[in-house]
Amino acid sequence: MTMDQSLAGRHIIVTGGGRNVGAEVAAELVRAGAKVTVVDLDEVSAKETATALNEIAPGSGFAIACNVADSAEVEATVASAAEQMGGLDGLVNSVAITDRGKTILDITDEEWARVLQVTLTSTMYTVRATANAMIAAGASGSIINIGSTSGYQPRANAIAYPTAKSASLALTKSMARQLGKHGIRVNVVTPNKVGSPVGEADRRDRPINNLIGRACEPSDIAKAVAFVLSDNAGFITGVDLVVDGGALVSMDID
């Protein structure tokens, strides 16, 4: 495989990097020349991904186990990642959990709070820590939050998850506005039904509901993320790059 060097010399954290989209994003970034710290709640998965990264490019992959819903753990993780990679230029947030099967009639307080804490508030924690570290080091860079088409459309079988993903769009725009003067771009990349379902390790067949006529693959999202992180997207900030095969424009909401 030909190595793309569009991210050569970059040091990037990928949260939720132990599997699915996060793991593929990490691999794509390494193929583009970056060093990547894989952050995941599951230490075994994080180390497995880091090992795979080092098989692509020796010395490119690192692993840290972290609960990104805990602000203190996030602060420590970002500091450790910057130290072990020799700097910090970027962040990809790929952590989420869902309340699939719940409605406003039966979701509990605990379920609501848990989904918002992990899927939305953790993004604030990781961006805050990363941006502060980058600014302190005098580094510019790029941050990407992985969105979901659930943030655009109502869901019959979930309530907290689409709320969190919708709110993450507004959060990203505000962060982009506030961090722009520091040379930090912040964007969203939004998939639809990519790889394994949120919260599940295994892939399963799901209906194809887009204009391309095939399932979205983690590599589709990873390539978009690598582009937005790179200088090729240097004039892009505060936007959502929807990579859904046209699913949103083909949805029948009548």
Catalytic residues, by residue number, are 161
- Sign of the dihedral through C-alpha 104, 109, 114, 119: positive
* Per-residue CA distances from 77 to 43, 61, 87, 177, 246 (Å): 13, 15, 13, 25, 36
